[in-house]
Copies of this chain bind each other. A is one copy, B any other.
Amino acid sequence: MSIPEFSIEGLSQIVRSLERYDEATLTNAGPKTPTTRRATEQLIWRLESLLFPFEHPWEEAVEAQGTAARIELLGRIIWDLAHQIHRVDPHDCTGDPCQGLCRAFHTAIEFGKRLPDIQALLYMDADAAYQGDPAARNRSEVISTYPGFYAIMVYRLAHELFRLDVPLLPRLMTEIAHSQTGIDIHPGAQIGSSFFIDHGTGVVIGETTEVGDQVTLYQGVTLGALNFPRDVQGQIIRGQKRHPTIGDRVVIYSGATILGGNTVIGAGSVIGGNVWLTHSVPENSRVINQPQVDVKAVTHKN
C-alpha cells in the first residue's frame, strides 16, 4: 500500500492551501469569532423554558416553575448573552475595552427587562392560532407543537436584540428557526400582535416588511423584494425599504407572493393562494387567481 500523501508533509501541503484566505477573513471580520450555532440554540432553548416552563420543560423532567429557579435561569441567560454580545460587537477592539464589556451587560439586561412584554405578545399569538385552527386542542398545544408559533417566538426575541443593535446574533437565531420550521423571518421585520402562521414551510418575510395586527399567513407565502436598486458602480444599495406593508386583519393563503417596498395591502384584505402581487390593493380587497385549470377525463392505459 503506497499512500505517500497521508504523511504530515502531505497533509501540511493541503492545509497550507486552505490557509490562503485567512488573512482576508481576519482583515474583513476582525480577530474575533462570531458566536456559535450551538450557543445560540442553547440561548433559544433557555428563553423558551423561561417564558413557557410548562410547555417547554427544561431537560426531560424538570420545569423551571419555581420562582428561584426562574431567577437563576434569567441570571444565566443575561450573563451568557452579555458574553455573546461582547464577542460579536464590532466596536469592541478599539479604544477602551471596558466600554464594550459594560455595554454588553447593559444590552443584555435591557433585553431581560423586555421579556415580559415579549411573553405577553406571544400569548396573544398563541391565542390567535387557537382561534384560527380547528385542529388545535388548546393554547398549550399551540405553544408546545406549532412550528409557526416557534418561528414567531424566535423572531420576537431576535427582533428585540436587532432593535438593541446586536449584530449577527438575531440573524443566527432566526436562521435556526428557519432550519427548524422552513419559515424565514428576517429579525428586522416589524410584525404586529396576534400573528398566526399555519403549517408555514416556505414562508419568507423580508427585512423591511411591516405587518399589522391579527394577520394570518399560510405555508409558502413570500413577502419579498421586487428588485434591488444599485448605485452607479452597480453595487446594491443597502438599507432601503424593499418589502411590502401588510395591513391589519389581512389573510394570505398558501403560495401567495407579494413583492416590493411600495406595495401596501389594505387592512382586512384576503389574498388567495398562489397569487403573485407587485402592486398595492385597497382595504378589504379580495385578490384571487382566475382559475385556468384544464380538466380532461382520459382512459388511463399505462
Contact = CB atoms under 8 A, between A and B. Distances in A.
A69 B14 CA distance: 13
A259 B255 CA distance: 13
Interface string A30-54: 0111101011000000100111001
A297 B284 contact: yes
A7 B134 contact: no
18 contacts: A3-B105, A5-B112, A12-B71, A14-B116, A21-B123, A58-B59, A64-B66, A76-B83, A133-B236, A134-B242, A147-B184, A182-B182, A182-B201, A184-B201, A184-B219, A202-B220, A255-B255, A286-B298
Given A17-B116, A22-B65, A28-B138, A6 B71 contact: no
Nearest to A59: B59
Contact of A29 (B21, B138, B237, B283): B138
B296 A290 contact: no
A109 B3 contact: yes
Interface in A194-226: 199, 201-204, 206-207, 218-220, 222, 224-225
Contact of A59 (B38, B109, B135): B38
Contacts of A59: 36, 38, 58-59, 62
A292 B293 contact: no
A298 B277 contact: no
Contact of A257 (B25, B46, B273): B273
Contact of A234 (B237, B276, B298, B302): B302
A4 B96 contact: yes
A246 to B, nearest CB: 15
A60 B38 contact: yes
B254 A222 contact: yes
A249 B123 CA distance: 44
B54 A62 contact: no
Contact of A137 (B146, B167, B290): B167
Interface string A256-299: 01010000001010000111110001111111111111111111
Interface string A151-180: 000000000000000011001100100111
A295 B274 contact: no
Interface in A67-115: 67-76, 78-80, 83, 86-87, 93, 96-98, 101-102, 105-106, 109, 112-113, 115
A59 B35 CA distance: 10
A62 B58 contact: yes
A118 to B, nearest CB: 10
A140 B28 contact: yes
A149 to B, nearest CB: 11
Contacts of A11: 71, 74-75, 78, 112
Contact of A97 (B10, B133, B220, B239): B10
